[in-house]
Amino acid sequence: MTDHRTTRFHEKSREERIETIRSLAGLSDDDVEILKTEGGISFDEANHMVENVIGTFSFPLGIATNFTINGKDYLIPMVIEESSVIAAASKAAKIARKHGGFTMESDESYIIGQVQVVDVNVKSAIPKVLKASQKILKLANSKSKTLSEMNKGAKKVTCKKIKTKSGTMLIVELLIDVGDAMGANVTNTMCEAVAPLIEELTGGRTILKILSNHSTKRLVRGRAVFDKEDVGGKEVVDNIIHAYNFAANDPYRAVTHNKGVMNGIIAVANSIGQDTRAIEAASHAFASKNGKYTSLTTWKKDKQGNLVGEIEVPMPVGIVGGIIKVHPIIGVCLKILGVKSAKELACVIGAVGLAQNFSAIRALASEGIQKGHMRLHAKNIAISAGVPKHKIHEVVSKMTQENNVSVTRAKEILKSSD
């Protein structure tokens, strides 16, 4: 069940693909122009974004098709250098559509902000801080009119004592609903704002005032059913469950399994300018939450023998702030994606993570990963070997037929075909 709106999308020319997306996402002429500016960003824009800029650096931007999430169809921009990922996500989404696609839900956008207090009598300081919670929250919330007006912002103050080699410390934590932003900046601002009050209350000295990227209260979770026939039959379904149990019980496999999940998550996050390091850090910490690193997804069979995949992963993402308004192509990608809130964005990204994991373990549990991978990889190899455009198809076909994909072989084939 392909998304009929994008049937045979991969066979279209660039112009046709852009035209399809333009009409489906309601892009303007300006949006299309931005898409056609290779890389989507000028030197001047880059020069304002970071330091010591000497140029810009582009990655491929593709569209994953066939996704239906919570009953809505999405076109999903993905920015990634690795071949097969976008095709794999689209294929998984096509299979999942048969049983209604992905059902996802997201927590509120909660961040934890931390204020470190040293040189303090922790035992007597904790009740003083807790008693002044309302005053601390009011001061924190005075730093964001926008969040306060939305009835979001700092909601709760908690305290914890940690014993360290440099002494016992009090850690004061603010639980902040950052709404549609990723929220790092507002969290850090609030932590810095309340630090003098905390010093006054506790008689201690504050040092670090910063968000925690361990985003345990900002999770997205969901599931999809993959029909056993489309998966490849009972044996492949059973093999996928064996593959999952391998990851669930062996950290060496789990890291690779989760890398497949992150292929999807990070590619979407890249396209809309998210802090991918925050997502990665949070995900891997969450994968170790029970003291042993394990899989971020689970796989089982339903009563009909279909494959059921589930994912739960932190998703600290936003649709306002950061570089969203600074990098022109991000605005266009957001328009294509059509999400209206950070929570909806989290649901989409989580679904792509699950889809990506499905395709990877399905390939691994059946024909192996290399067959599909190699054809695309062979193209990159042919290009690196200097094969001209009109000869790429011939060289790639020969290398994959022979199962011998290398720069040396590409050069030999090119020479013999001259």
| Among candidate residues 73, 74, 102, 76, the one with its CA nearest the CA of residue 354 | 102
256 lines the binding site for ligand MEV (CB under 6 A) = yes
Rounded to the nearest 10 degrees, the angle between the axes of helix 251-271 and helix 234-249 is: 100
Query: Does 82 qualify as catalytic in the annotation?
Result: yes
Q: Which stretch binds ligand MEV (CB under 6 A): 148-156, 252-260, 280-288, 377-385?
A: 252-260
Residue with tokens 């979407």: 268
Question: Rounded to an integer, what distance in angstroms lies between the CA atom of residue 148 and that of residue 141?
Answer: 6
Whether 107 and 218 have beta carbons less than 8 Å apart is answered as: yes
Nearer to ligand MEV, 106 or 263 (CB): 263
Q: Which is nearer to ligand MEV, 175 or 369 (CB)?
A: 369
Classify 355 as helix, strand or coil: helix
Nearer to ligand MEV, 117 or 267 (CB): 267
How far, in Å, CA of 371 to CA of 226, rounded? 22
Do the beta carbons of residue 315 and residue 215 sit within 8 Å? yes
Residue 216's SS3 state is coil
The verdict on 257 binding ligand MEV (CB under 6 A) reads: yes
Residue 275 annotated among the catalytic residues of the structure: yes
Handedness of CA 191, 192, 193, 197 (dihedral sign): positive
Nearer to ligand MEV, 63 or 360 (CB): 360
Binding status of residue 260 toward ligand MEV by CB under 6 A: yes
Closest residue by Cα to residue 357 from 98, 105, 99, 88: 88
352 touches ligand MEV by CB under 6 A = no
Q: Find the shortest distance in angstroms from Cβ 259 to ligand MEV.
A: 5
- Please report whether residue 91 would count as binding ligand MEV according to CB under 6 A: no
Question: Which of 19, 82, 173, 394 does the annotation list as catalytic?
Answer: 82
Residue (175 or 255) nearer to ligand MEV, CB: 255
Report in angstroms how near the CB of residue 132 gets to ligand MEV at its nearest.
49
**Annotation marks residue 259 as catalytic:** yes
> How far apart are CB 51 and ligand MEV at their closest, in Å?
31
Identify the H or E element spanning 69. strand 61-69
Catalytic residues: 82, 259, 275, 373
Return residues touching ligand MEV (CB under 6 A). 82, 256-257, 259-260, 263, 360-361, 364, 369
